């Protein structure tokens, strides 16, 4: 068994999380792979693989997400990766997994983010954790705060689900994985069929099938409702799978009613009904609207935002909440494990970086990423990529 608390004490390290004060670093610092010690692999994500790292100078620990460039091209994921980086560079919130650094070498792209070791909600569902109404209530409040912030930044996440909600050591929820997120400006609507089908809102399927007017921020709040229902009951409100035909889903939402457990409080059911309203115009889809719910009438939102409300479920600090096979997979299946890879890092004039990084919260080099986007543009025969900074 992996004893996280003993390991942390042995390392004498502090964990970087969104609730802690960020360290002051020299804005001229050219952060790269050599600045980090690889400790162990902990998972996979849409961006690639994830490992725990320790920054050598500050001894702070983070999660490092990395993806092989060639695989990125082969999987046609270039746009999504750059969009995720573009979004993460511009946002920061108590209930998001925030970006600290990003860089690249000859083979891989890296994002260094908050390290949250409480595991994701999918993992805890699979461990048969029984979430109480009070526990789920806190998750709803924290995610409502995060989604309202994203809306203020014109961002639709499009993949809110238990897999993408990470817990910190105190049991507070953080939204991660902006791989399929999108930015829409005033008056714009999204139209792509994007997301994880069981959590996607009805209007996404309707727009795709019937060429409707598209969809907006309301879709994330539907996903929040599906997730909250699943945490309380152990399964989702609709029997939808990844291979379910879009045509059948449009019909499903118009003919099948959600069944609520008689033992749930009336206020809980009332809130879930407002989140799982098929018509997006009548759905709770902002912090202001959800605050009108009697279910949340006694919530102190200042304490929520400051993480002063004690979580009903606190992950066991004596273990690492992830699949232990990730470490074996990294060591055995990978032809070139990350901890043994050669450091072929691009070297850029520090003066250029200082000017580029001025007043930025990350040390990503615009020049390096712009150069890489040109390379990927050529390889994938794409002509346009968003500017990274």
Q: What pLDDT shows up at residue 22?
A: 43
For residue 215, give the DSSP letter.
Answer: B
Among candidates 132, 95, 42, which has minimal Cα distance to 304? 95
Among candidates 204, 200, 221, 222, which has minimal Cα distance to 213? 204
Q: Coil, strand, or helix at residue 120?
A: strand
- Residue 65 labeled ligand binder: yes
Q: What pLDDT shows up at residue 159?
A: 98
Total Cβ atoms within 10 A of residue 306: 11
Residue 17 to residue 229: CA distance in whole angstroms:
28
Q: Phi and psi for 183 in degrees, rounded to 5?
A: -110, 125
Total Cβ atoms within 10 A of residue 11: 13
The number of angstroms, rounded, from the C-alpha of 386 to the middle of its chain's C-alpha atoms is 21
Residue 329 to residue 327: CA distance in whole angstroms:
5
Residue 130 to residue 117: CA distance in whole angstroms:
19
Q: Is 296 exposed, middle or buried (0-12, 13-18, 19+ CB in 10 A)?
A: middle
Q: Which residues are catalytic?
A: 159
Among candidates 296, 315, 15, 297, which has minimal Cα distance to 142? 296
Residue 324 to residue 198: CA distance in whole angstroms:
27
Q: Which long-range contacts (CB under 8 A, 24 or more apart) does 161-164 make?
A: 161/122, 161/196, 161/198, 161/199, 161/223, 161/226, 161/227, 162/120, 162/121, 162/122, 162/125, 162/227, 162/230, 162/231, 163/120, 163/121, 163/122, 163/196, 164/120
Residue 367 to residue 126: CA distance in whole angstroms:
43
pLDDT along the chain (389 residues), means of 10: 46 49 53 91 74 94 91 86 92 97 91 94 96 98 98 98 96 96 93 97 94 92 99 97 94 95 97 98 97 95 97 86 54 50 40 33 46 49 35
Could you give all domains of the chain from N- to C-terminal order, each with its CATH number? Answer: 4-117+321-380 (3.30.200.20), 121-305 (1.10.510.10)
Among candidates 144, 162, 283, 139, which has minimal Cα distance to 234? 162
Which distant-in-sequence residues (6+ apart) come within 8 Å of 363 by Cβ?
25, 27, 29, 30, 31, 101, 102, 103, 353, 357
């Amino acid at each position: 068994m992996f004893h996280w608390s003993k390991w942390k004490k042995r390392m004498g390290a502090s964990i970087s999380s969104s609730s802690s004060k960020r360290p002051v670093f020299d804005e001229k610092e050219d952060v790269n792979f050599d600045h980090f010690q690889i400790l162990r692999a902990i998972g996979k994500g849409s961006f690639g693989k994830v490992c725990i790292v320790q920054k050598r100078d500050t001894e702070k620990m983070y999660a490092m997400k990395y993806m092989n460039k060639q695989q990125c091209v082969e999987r046609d994921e270039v746009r999504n990766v750059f969009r995720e980086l573009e979004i993460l560079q511009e946002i920061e919130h108590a209930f998001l997994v925030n970006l600290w650094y990003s860089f690249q070498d000859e083979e891989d792209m890296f994002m260094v983010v908050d390290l949250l070791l409480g595991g994701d909600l999918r993992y805890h569902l699979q461990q048969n954790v029984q979430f109480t109404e009070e526990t789920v209530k806190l998750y709803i409040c924290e995610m409502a705060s995060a989604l309202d912030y994203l809306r203020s930044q014109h961002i639709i996440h499009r993949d809110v689900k238990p897999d993408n909600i990470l817990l910190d050591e105190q049991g507070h929820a953080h939204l991660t994985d902006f791989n399929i997120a999108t930015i829409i400006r005033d008056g714009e609507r999204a139209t792509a069929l994007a997301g994880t089908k069981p959590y996607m809102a009805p209007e996404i399927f309707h727009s795709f099938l019937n060429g409707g007017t598209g969809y907006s921020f309301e879709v994330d709040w539907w996903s929040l409702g599906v997730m909250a229902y699943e945490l309380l009951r152990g399964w989702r409100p609709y029997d939808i799978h990844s291979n379910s035909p879009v045509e059948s889903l449009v019909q499903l939402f118009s003919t099948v009613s959600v069944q609520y457990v008689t033992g749930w409080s009336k206020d809980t059911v009332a809130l879930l009904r407002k989140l799982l309203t098929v018509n997006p115009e009548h759905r709770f889809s902002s912090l202001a609207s959800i605050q009108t719910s009697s279910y949340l009438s006694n919530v102190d939102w200042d304490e929520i935002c400051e993480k002063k409300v004690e979580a009903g479920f606190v992950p066991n600090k004596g273990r690492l909440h992830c699949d232990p096979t990730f470490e074996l997979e990294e060591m055995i299946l990978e032809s070139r494990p990350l901890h043994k890879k050669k450091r072929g890092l691009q070297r850029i004039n520090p003066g250029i970086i200082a000017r580029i990084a001025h007043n930025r919260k990350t040390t990503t080099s615009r020049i390096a990423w712009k150069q890489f986007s040109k390379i990927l543009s050529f390889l994938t025969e794409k002509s346009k990529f968003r500017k990274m900074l």
